[in-house]
Amino acid sequence: MRRGFPWWVAGSEFKLGVNTMIKNFLRDESGASAAEYALILAIVGAAIATAMLLLGGEIRDSIVNAEAQIEAGQGDLAPAD
């Protein structure tokens, strides 16, 4: 490598370094595979669906209750100028 220049300016040494990095990247098996990501996605999706089924009625009742209270409270308000 030439002295005083960063490693990426070193010409042929840079090419060898990039080739080594690419080979190491392709051999690396430490990351999650697509099957593992699909499994995680399925578990999260099932949890969301279960929560919607279990909490759906309670959420609907809360919204209806809030709507009724808003409608009841509007009669007490003075008209806007």
4 falls within a domain = no
The amino acid present at 74, given as its one-letter code, is Q
35 falls within a domain = yes
Each residue's pLDDT expressed in tens, for the chain with a length of 81 residues: 455 555 555 555 556 677 787 787 777 776 667 788 889 999 999 999 999 899 988 989 999 999 988 888 776 656 666
| Whole-number pLDDT of residue 79 | 64
CA 63 from chain centre, in angstroms, equals 28
Q: Which domain holds residue 61?
A: 10-74
The amino acid present at 10, given as its one-letter code, is A
| Whole-number pLDDT of residue 19 | 76
How many CA within 13 A on the CB side of residue 22? 6
Q: Is 33 helix (H, G, I), strand (E, B) or coil?
A: coil
| Whole-number pLDDT of residue 42 | 94
Q: Structurally, how many domains does the chain consist of? A: 1
| Whole-number pLDDT of residue 36 | 84
